[in-house]
Amino acid sequence: MSVKLRKFRAAFILAALFLNNHAYSAGADNHAPFFTDGQPLGSLPERDRAAGPFYEDVKDPGRNVTALRPLFVAGEDGKSTSSWVASMYPLFSRRDYVGGHRWNVMELLVGSRAESADGEPIRSLELWPLFWHYDTGVAEESYDAVFPIAGTLRNRLFHKRIDWFLFPAFLRLEQEDHVDRSVIWPFIRWREGEGQRGWALWPLYGHFEGEGKYDNTFALWPLVYNNHRYLPETKGGGDYHTFGVLPFYARETAPGMKSESYVWPFFGYTKEVAPRKSYSEIRYLYPLWVKGQGEVKTVNRWLPFYAHETKPGYEKSWYAWPLIKHEERSEAGLDISKDTLLYFIYKDEVQQAAEQGFKARKTQLWPLFGYADNGAGERQFMFLNPFEPLISGNEMLRNTWTPFFALYRYEASADAARYSVLWDLFLYERDEDGKSFSIGPIFEISSKPESEDWSILKGLVGHGPEGWTALWGAF
């Protein structure tokens, strides 16, 4: 689906045509703050811009973005054959993909269309949490629901089926092997199923059991509980048992493991032996003070002063928690190191594969700047950067709102670089053919191996390939 908005761009270009009669172009045709007509620059994506951050058109073989911010922002991803569009995000957004699409308004009103394996349309509409409609064309798979009046949901909210009538008067929850029914939920509940039964008068007392699977009892929920879960032989078999009279005492046992807590959850210990990997832990003031040592993991936690934990492929340290955190892990052949300050104020992540000579880095200091190096020669830097550290990876948010704050942007590849201040008012570009600098339409200069050219007011006075010029080519 094409997302180009050439007609909007043309309107901004016409507003500055009176400055466009000059004999040569110094890099991008810079008329900022009216518009910037981007030119090919090495392997960097071509970018047109108008009215500062309000209009932008990025042409990239792998990713196109067109924006008339904040009313309209759209993007294409040629690699995944998907596209998206947003308006005043998160007010409205839509994503199109092969075989369907999904749209939403504030994640409250959501609609979608897809295709089943046999090509039949699947449609859904939700107004969370009041209305659900799902239609596959097959009655056994479709449903409608109006909350709290009546309705049915299938394969939603961790259940195979959910039915209600005048909720909380009646509620039915179906899993693969049992059904729970409630009257005046959550106070009265009973269970039926294959070898399963039980009932509860919450929060006073409840008992549920499944033959060979579990046997759970509670009283004065959540203070008293006695639960058994019988592990299948494929997982080693045995009885996983938890018992508690909170806050005085809690116990957890399984084959090769015993854990007890006193004045729960503050004081206690855990001991693990065969068939588990050996591990011993003492909790002095959980979760702040914990010391554990074992074959595959260690814990030395003395928060808020210091903490250090290790397990296969992962290592974590805290200094003056929650001030400074350091993590190291191995993932998909990469060694990843990450440092953070107060969770999101400062983030620095390095990914590298030493044998392949690969190293990528992403650094953010909220709300001041963000820097990224993808390890393939492409680098970016931006000042200011208020959103990315908070909601990393949200493409629609980044393309809708981040440019309003990008007072300075730097983009570079192996063969080119672009520096932009105040949305191209000050613009410097360089590639293998030369370099250029411009201050809107006021002044521009370009340097190439064979010449150095400059111009004031797009040709009022300048020097180009044919020598001196004046009055936009009249002299």
Whole-prediction pTM: 0.81
Q: Which two tokens stand for residue 302?
A: 């003395």
For residue 121, what are the CA distances in angstroms to 114, 126, 127?
A: 6, 17, 20
Buried/exposed code over 57-92 (b: 16+ C-beta within 10 A; e: otherwise): bbebeeebbbbbbbebbbbbbeeeeebbbbbebbee
For β-strands 257-262 and 416-421, DSSP reports them as unpaired
Look-up of token digits 């503050």: 266
Q: Which amino acid is at 255?
A: P
**Cβ contacts of residue 107 below 8 Å, gap of 6+?**
90, 128
Q: Which amino acid is at 379?
A: R
Q: Contact at 8 Å (CB) between 244 and 264?
A: yes
* CA–CA gap between residue 172 and residue 183 (Å, rounded): 9
Buried/exposed code over 246-281 (b: 16+ C-beta within 10 A; e: otherwise): eeeebbbebebbebbbeebeeebebebeeebeebeb
Considering only the C-alpha atoms of the chain, give the largest distance between any 2 of them, rounded to a whole number of Å.
98
Measured in residues, the chain has a length of 475
* CA–CA gap between residue 264 and residue 259 (Å, rounded): 12
* CA–CA gap between residue 363 and residue 327 (Å, rounded): 15
* CA–CA gap between residue 62 and residue 82 (Å, rounded): 11
Map residue 252 onto helix, strand or coil: strand
Q: What is the pLDDT of residue 78?
A: 65
Helical (H) or strand (E) element with 7:
helix 6-14
pLDDT tens digits in sequence order for the chain, 475 residues long: 444 444 444 444 444 344 444 444 446 889 999 999 988 888 888 899 999 999 999 988 767 899 999 999 999 876 667 899 999 999 999 999 888 999 999 999 999 999 887 888 999 999 999 999 999 988 889 999 999 999 999 999 999 999 999 999 999 999 999 999 999 999 999 999 989 999 999 999 999 999 989 999 999 999 999 999 998 877 778 999 999 999 999 999 999 999 999 999 999 999 999 999 999 999 999 999 999 999 999 999 999 999 999 999 999 999 999 999 999 999 888 999 999 999 999 999 999 998 888 999 999 999 999 999 999 889 999 999 998 888 877 889 989 999 999 999 999 998 999 999 999 999 999 998 899 999 999 999 998 887 889 999 988 898 887 788 888 766 6
* CA–CA gap between residue 385 and residue 369 (Å, rounded): 5
Domain residue ranges of the chain, discontinuous segments joined by +:
247-321
Query: Quick one: how far is CA 377 from the chain centroid?
Result: 24
For residue 139, what are the CA distances in angstroms to 110, 136, 143, 244, 327?
A: 22, 8, 8, 46, 50
In a 10 Å sphere around its CB, with 0-12 CB exposed, 13-18 middle and 19+ buried, how is residue 320 labelled? exposed
